[in-house]
Chains A and B, each alone.
Chain A
Amino acid sequence: MGRTVRRKEDARLVTGRGRFVSDLNLAGMKHVAFLRSTYGHARITSISIEEAESAPYVQGVFTGEHPAFAGVALRARSGLETYVETAQPILAQDKVRFAGEAVAAVVADDRYLAEDAAELVVVDYDPLPTTVSAWAAQDAPWPGHMTPVHAEAPDNVLLRRTFQAGDVEAGLVAATVVVEQELFTNRHAANPIECRAGVAWWDGDRLTFWSGTQVPHLLRNCIADLLGLREGSVRVVAPDVGGGFGVKAVVYPEDVALCLIALRLPGIPVKWVEDRVEHLQAATHAREHRYRLRAGFSDGGQLLALDADVTCNVGAYSVYPWTAGIEPLMAGGLLSGPYRLGNYRCSVRGVVSNTTPSGPYRGVARPATVFAMESVLDEAARLLGISSVEIRRRNLIGPDDIPYRMPSGLVDDSGWYGECLERVLEQIAPSEVKAEQERRRTSGENPIGLGIACYNELTGLGRAASAGPRMPFRTGHEACTVRVNPDGCVTVLSGVCSQGQALETTMAQVVSDALGVDYDDVDVRIGDTAESLWGFGAFSSRQGIIGGGAAHEAAIVVRQKVIDLAAELFEANPDDLRVEAGEVRVAGQETPLCRLEEVARVAYLESHRLPESFEPGLEATRFYDPIRGAFAAGAQAAVIEIDRATGEIDILKWACVEDTGTVINPGVVQGQVAGAIAQGIGGSLLEKLEYDDAGNLITGTLMDYLMPSSADVPDISIGHVSHPANNPLGVRGVGEGGTLGPYAVLAGAVGDALGVRIDHLPLTPNDIWSVLK
């Protein structure tokens, strides 16, 4: 641990030998294309499939009326009292609720032919009034002229909840200044370079589903349940996956459709590779929120009360299995961030609309909540005449406050926010920025600005921390099996899965250290439900903590078995024995007692040498659940220059410092933080999914949906503080934290440069130019 070892994944990935789902080419395989709705909201009056069905290259055409599909629907469940449960059909039934919703599926000899056949399916629609905005209709008199997206929710609200602590009104009355803001964040999406993909194959007995999923075990559980199969008859395999960032942590209608089709076509593997246009239309979106805030501060800048109203556009369906609560509940739970606050009221709601469903995307809601919170602090600082740095210093939760119970009830175990902030400021030198800013103001040169964000990232949620959405499952644990093979090499069967985070590498590092074997002798197998016992998967920055914890615990048990067996075999005192680099050693002696493989050989092949109390074999399986989780502190700051004429932003300097706890692999951690910041920069400056009033996505290709390129993301200074967390490895999650800062940083920096308040994102040159005018 703590070393940047050569990643186990790299050799195959740089030579073109990676194995992604889209690479699968099985004998007899057929190809699926989906026909998708061209309307945002419409009743389906008829679907004619005869012509497509009769094409010689077509094996099947399926619609929502097909008996295989008619009885199946996705129903994301929550025990929250205000939650309105709704159904998402696998293929549209009766009506379509967003443009891009799958209406029919066609199976053909190849993808070209499948798309040809899909064009032969004729759907007649009767358009319905379309709701695109989550707040326009909510603010207007309701109900009335609009047609609800789901009959079960006549006001389009699927969920509401109020988080409350202390006495907000009293806090606001006591305040010297009250900041009022209304802020909007932009709908955008993860857009991994590999879109979704699946291959389903029913051999008459068992269903195998290769899927580019972040949640193979959960997917298996859902598929078995939805299809009425025994869980043991379903195998989900997630091989190499080309990025996920949350969008692949959802169980999609297309996943279920492929499996249903496979059941209908025994022996024929069916493959669907999502194309980018489908991805932009039908893979989950995120982050379209509105924040209405009132925050009271004392004359010293102390945050006294926060009153918030948060609306999230959750799209057309309650995302399965996470529910429409995923963004609103996260927003309400984490809005106050790393700041001390006693008086809090936050009403959140998830509103459906005729747009693509919203789902988990790296940082879930917090890029927006951090933007909201930091905007409030910047404005308060301005009103009170104190610096934006100072107001943060005065409110940040410190080490002495730990454990700190946030007003939403979550318990912060970090407290190292101040340290992160100060370290970032060392890189940025605010006083020099200030001086340069003044100089430019006088000289008339392009303005520069400084933006700062402090954030707390709740990572590795255990069963207590993941209770919020009241889903019928709790995502607290992971399992890991560590097995020493007869040759002394180690196989790790881990429940984690990887979309680029190098889990094969980091789990091997954990086991290598805990067991005492060479990194090169550890082989990690992940992503296959037939191999590992259980894992919830990759989300909430959880796998290092939870999967790593399980791997560590299992390896420790195996190490003890090795020591106990070696002690018996060589008549040594187990307390004196250590396992190092694949050898069992006696403390203080230069020559090793034996090699690990000698012990392993006895355990498997020479049972006659096994002491009586010993079970053959040399492996252990352990579950780990941290119960709560680990907060990871972080701070970012940047200096930007604005082209006064065009409104373009040039990032001059960017620094980030996060408390990553114990670092397993510095290269991997650095990469997670850098990649997360780049996505945040994209979301702040470039990326926006836009609909017209009829519910058509008008940013439907990568010509219009702009992701940052190498020319848009600067070099970033990334630093760490390492305060071990209370889990077996002392690690804190790092997958998402970097994404939380850029929205606030860039909005703050533009605000600082121009002396304005930024109330919506992204910060396009056009918008900045409008402000400049």
Chain B
Amino acid sequence: MRVELTVNGGLMTVDVEARRTLVDVLRDDLNLTGTHAGCEHGVCGACTVIIEGEVVRACLMFAVQADGARITTVEGLAGDDGTMHPLQEAFCAHSGLQCGFCTPGMLLSALVLLGRERHPSRERIREELSGNLCRCTGYMAIVDAVEAASRGPGDLPVPHQQST
């Protein structure tokens, strides 16, 4: 089936079998391997992407369902010139990652949270990120990073989700 996806601002057309999950199509067909598959049954959150402004588990959606949708993956967070998104900066500055496997999903979940609640408490951050498992950090440094980003001066835009 032919599917049109707007991924990180770029229109992409792929021909995929209906049974292929969005995470597999992003990774294998579009070579956007920043989105990771950790459990493939919707528990770990490693495959989280943003679709039409909302966080979605890419293992719990078939690519054909995303036909025509605007998708932001971790590859779309930094600017075209490579400038990191303030949230990415915060994760680096606060040891918010170790192996980095859960990080893409964690970043996207945190970004949508910060879009809804500009200054969430640590408690709220913990609650809202509880669908993204991390086995390395013990979470404290991730909460530090998200908290720091929420206190930063600049905007925390969700790239590539604006209507054109």
Touch A–B, Cβ below 8 Å: yes
Q: Flag if A711 contacts B127 (CB, 8 Å).
A: yes
Contact partner, B137, options A276, A277, A674, Cβ 8 Å: A674
A555 CA / B25 CA spacing, docked (Å): 46
Distance from A148 Cβ to chain B, minimum over Cβ atoms (Å): 35
Chain A residues with CB under 8 A of B139: 674, 678, 709-710, 713
Chain A residues with CB under 8 A of B112: none
Known A-B contacts: A674-B141, A707-B135. Give 11 more (CB < 8 A): A9-B100, A13-B103, A15-B88, A22-B37, A242-B99, A243-B135, A674-B137, A676-B138, A702-B133, A710-B125, A715-B140
Is B77 interfacial (CB 8 A cutoff)? Answer: yes
Q: Interface of chain A, helix or strand or loop or mixed?
A: loop
Q: Flag if A10 contacts B92 (CB, 8 Å).
A: yes
Distance from B34 Cβ to chain A, minimum over Cβ atoms (Å): 2
Is B131 interfacial (CB 8 A cutoff)? Answer: yes
29 pairs of residues in contact across A and B, judged by CB atoms under 8 Å: A7-B92, A13-B103, A14-B103, A15-B75, A16-B32, A16-B104, A22-B27, A23-B33, A192-B99, A192-B101, A193-B99, A193-B102, A194-B38, A273-B37, A501-B98, A502-B98, A667-B95, A667-B141, A671-B98, A674-B138, A675-B135, A675-B137, A679-B135, A702-B39, A702-B41, A703-B43, A709-B129, A710-B143, A711-B126
Is B163 interfacial (CB 8 A cutoff)? Answer: no
Q: Flag if B100 contacts A500 (CB, 8 Å).
A: yes
Chain B residues with CB under 8 A of A679: 135, 138
Q: Flag if B140 contacts A716 (CB, 8 Å).
A: yes
Contact partner, B43, options A4, A670, A701, Cβ 8 Å: A701
Q: Flag if B134 contacts A23 (CB, 8 Å).
A: no
Chain A residues with CB under 8 A of B31: 25
B:133-151 near A, CB below 8 Å: 133-143
Distance from A527 Cβ to chain B, minimum over Cβ atoms (Å): 13
Q: Flag if A112 contacts B19 (CB, 8 Å).
A: yes
Residues of B within 8 Å of A, CB-based: how many?
58
Is B121 interfacial (CB 8 A cutoff)? Answer: no
A interface residues, Cβ below 8 angstroms from B: 4, 6-7, 9-18, 20, 22-23, 25, 110, 112, 190-195, 240-243, 245, 273, 275-277, 499-502, 667-668, 670-671, 674-679, 701-703, 707, 709-713, 715-716
Residue in B closest to A243 when the chains form the complex, CB atoms: B99
A485 CA / B82 CA spacing, docked (Å): 28
Chain A residues with CB under 8 A of B36: 20, 22, 193-194, 242
Residue in A closest to B37 when the chains form the complex, CB atoms: A22
Q: Flag if A702 contacts B43 (CB, 8 Å).
A: yes
Q: Flag if B97 contacts A13 (CB, 8 Å).
A: yes
B interface residues, Cβ below 8 angstroms from A: 17, 19-20, 27-28, 31-41, 43-44, 46, 73-75, 77-78, 84, 88, 91-93, 95, 97-104, 107, 122, 125-127, 129-143
Chain A residues with CB under 8 A of B97: 10, 13-14, 500
A614 CA / B77 CA spacing, docked (Å): 51
Distance from A30 Cβ to chain B, minimum over Cβ atoms (Å): 13
Q: Flag if B32 contacts A242 (CB, 8 Å).
A: no
Chain B residues with CB under 8 A of A711: 126-127, 130
Chain A residues with CB under 8 A of B126: 710-711
Check A15/B99 contact, CB under 8 A, given A22-B37, A194-B36, A709-B133.
no
Residue in B closest to A703 when the chains form the complex, CB atoms: B43
Chain A residues with CB under 8 A of B35: 16
A206 CA / B31 CA spacing, docked (Å): 27
Check A702/B137 contact, CB under 8 A, given A16-B33, A709-B131.
no
A567 CA / B24 CA spacing, docked (Å): 59
Q: Flag if A192 contacts B135 (CB, 8 Å).
A: yes
Q: Flag if A10 contacts B91 (CB, 8 Å).
A: yes
Distance from A716 Cβ to chain B, minimum over Cβ atoms (Å): 6
Chain A residues with CB under 8 A of B137: 671, 674-675, 678
Residue in A closest to B129 when the chains form the complex, CB atoms: A710
Residue in A closest to B100 when the chains form the complex, CB atoms: A13
Q: Flag if B73 contacts A16 (CB, 8 Å).
A: yes
Q: Flag if B100 contacts A14 (CB, 8 Å).
A: yes
Residue in A closest to B82 when the chains form the complex, CB atoms: A15
Q: Flag if B75 contacts A499 (CB, 8 Å).
A: no
Chain B residues with CB under 8 A of A701: 39, 41, 43
Which of A15, A502, A702, A712 has the most chain B CB atoms inside 10 A of its CB? A15
Distance from B64 Cβ to chain A, minimum over Cβ atoms (Å): 14
Contact partner, B142, options A18, A22, A702, A710, Cβ 8 Å: A710
Which of A13, A500, A667 has the most chain B CB atoms inside 10 A of its CB? A13
Chain B residues with CB under 8 A of A276: 38-41, 44
